[in-house]
Structures are given as C-alpha cells and as structure tokens.
Copies of this chain bind each other. A is one copy, B any other.
C-alpha cells in the first residue's frame, strides 16, 4: 500500500475498458424508419428474430402494419412519428433521396433517442454505383445536423438485404461498423448488432469518418456483380 518511486507512471491509470464489455440491450424497443423497404425489412426481421422488440415505421400506418404482419416475430407497425416516439433506438433505413426531409419532419419525435443512420448516399449510372458526398460530409453528419437533440450514430451499412430477409439464412456473417461521438451510444448499437446471429458490432470511429463507410457500399456492389455474391465485411484481428 506504499507508494514507490520505481512504480510505473502508468500504474495509477484505471485499466483500459474491455471493448467487448457491452450493455444488455435485450429490453430496448427498436424502431426502423423506412421499415417497409428492403434494408429496413431485413434489419427488422433479423432483430425481431433475435428476440428484440421491433416496430417498423412508414409514412402510412397501414403499410407499416402490413409489413409487420408479414415479418412476424412480434414486429409491430406504426406511422413514422409514432414509431419514433415508442422506440428507444431508431434505425434510419429510408432512401437517401428522402433522408433530410424525413428527419426534419421527425426531429421532435426523435429527440433524446439513439438514432442509427444506415443510409448510403449513392448514385447509379451505366458504369454502376458511385458515392455521393452530402454537403454535411455524410448521411450520418446530415442526421446529426438535423437532429441536434438526438444521439446520432451510424451503422448497418454493409449488409445484404437479400441475406437479411432470407429465413433460410441462419447466420449473417458480417461485422457491423459502428460510428458515433459517444461511447455510451456506440456501445448500445454494437450490442444491438451483436444480438443477430453471426453479426458483431465493431466500433469504427467518429461521425466525421462516416462518409467512407457509407460509400463503400458502391464497392460492395461491384464485388457482388463480379463474384455473383452478397458481399459483407469482417474486420480482422479484433
């Protein structure tokens, strides 16, 4: 218990936190805005199948309810604003074209929520897909600018909607890069990703580095075309 002059200067530091020590998120309600699109349906299905309480949101409550009934696993459907208000974590799976408009209209409903942006701003021409650079830098940074009262993160970009939606696929063998400014928030999103069989949530930086994660989907589209695959990504050595 005595202090020694030979002690390492690092010895007083608390031990580094285990990055895999993530919170229990099994009780959180997850909303999926754009939950009637392919990516949204796929994410809703996988999370609900893993036991998470999921609400899919759409502009029209009836469409959301119809999608929810098809998805099963206890998924509920609601109009976007209602979906946002009833959820703890809200995944944005809307098309890039409607991203800013949707967020502006839902800013109050999303206040205080953990928002997970999984939107990939891409353009398409005869040569394939290419990255679009939003004025704010990325879709996630646009969300952060439009939702100053929300806790914005970015994740779930590199998943195949085909694999997510296929009930015969038992395991989604892809890591989910999770970006954000607050460790408490990214930890929750990582834990959520980890609920899905095969998936891991891996912290991958701040929102200012979201653009390349979003636009890498253009490259995965090229991979899919060349290899006739549903490509995803694994981070090695972690």
Q: Does A177 contact B (CB under 8 A)?
A: yes
| Distance between Cα atoms of A66 and B128 in the complex (Å) | 45
The CB with the most chain B CB atoms within 10 A, among A173, A179, A204, is that of A204
Q: 27 interchain pairs (CB within 8 A)?
A: A16-B228, A19-B226, A127-B206, A128-B205, A131-B211, A163-B237, A174-B236, A203-B223, A203-B226, A203-B227, A204-B219, A204-B222, A205-B218, A205-B219, A205-B223, A206-B222, A212-B212, A212-B215, A212-B218, A213-B216, A213-B219, A223-B235, A227-B237, A227-B238, A230-B237, A231-B238, A234-B236
The size of the chain A interface, using a CB distance under 8 A, is 45
Closest chain-B Cβ to A76's Cβ sits at a distance in Å of 31
Q: Does A209 contact B (CB under 8 A)?
A: yes
Contacts of A202 in B (CB 8 A): 223, 227
Interface residues of A (CB under 8 A from B): 16, 19, 127-131, 133, 160, 163, 173-174, 177, 179, 202-206, 208-209, 211-213, 215-216, 218-223, 226-238
Nearest 10 Cβ contacts at the A-B interface: A205-B222, A212-B212, A234-B234, A232-B236, A212-B215, A227-B238, A204-B219, A229-B237, A229-B238, A205-B219
Contacts of A16 in B (CB 8 A): 228
The CB with the most chain B CB atoms within 10 A, among A127, A174, A223, is that of A223
Identify whether the interface residues of A are mostly helix, strand, loop, or mixed.
mixed
| Distance between Cα atoms of A19 and B205 in the complex (Å) | 33
Contacts of A238 in B (CB 8 A): 223, 227, 229, 231
Contacts of A129 in B (CB 8 A): 209
